[in-house]
């Protein structure tokens, strides 16, 4: 199966390190997360990596890395982060 232009752009902007991280070398936004333009949307690269390696995810689903590096997109380091109910409650009371 041929790669899409976006997948090719994603793969050519990676730096694979000795510790197993795949570091994003493309655009970065405030907060230190990498971003990639996909179908007229700016996505975090960790989210995009999850989607191309595993499955599509809901807009509200959060992706985090086990290594703690915000620029790491290695699918082996990524997981779906589920906020604790107490964290969600704190957010709603702040608004």
How many residues would you count in the chain?
A: 95
Domain regions of the chain by residue span = 5-88
Summarize pLDDT for 33-87 with one digit per residue, the tens: 999 999 999 999 999 999 999 999 998 999 999 999 999 999 999 999 987 654 5
Fold classification of 5-88 (topology level): Homing Intron 3 (I-Ppo) Encoded Endonuclease; Chain A (3.90.75)
The beta strands (E) that lie in the chain are given as 14-16, 22-24, 28-29, 33-38, 41-44, 62-65, 78-81
Beta bridge partners of 41: 38
* pLDDT bracket for residue 29 (50, 70, 90): confident
Q: What are phi and psi of 74, to 5 degrees?
A: -65, 120
SS3 65: strand
């Amino acid at each position: 199966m041929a790669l899409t232009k976006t997948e090719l752009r994603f793969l050519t902007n990676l730096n694979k390190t000795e510790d197993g991280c795949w570091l994003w070398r493309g655009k970065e936004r405030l907060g230190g997360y990498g971003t990639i333009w996909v179908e007229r949307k700016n996505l975090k690269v960790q989210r995009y990596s999850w989607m191309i390696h595993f499955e599509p995810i809901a807009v509200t689903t959060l992706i985090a890395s086990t290594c703690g590096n915000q620029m790491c997109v290695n699918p082996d380091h990524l997981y779906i982060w589920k906020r604790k109910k107490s964290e969600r409650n704190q957010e709603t009371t702040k608004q």
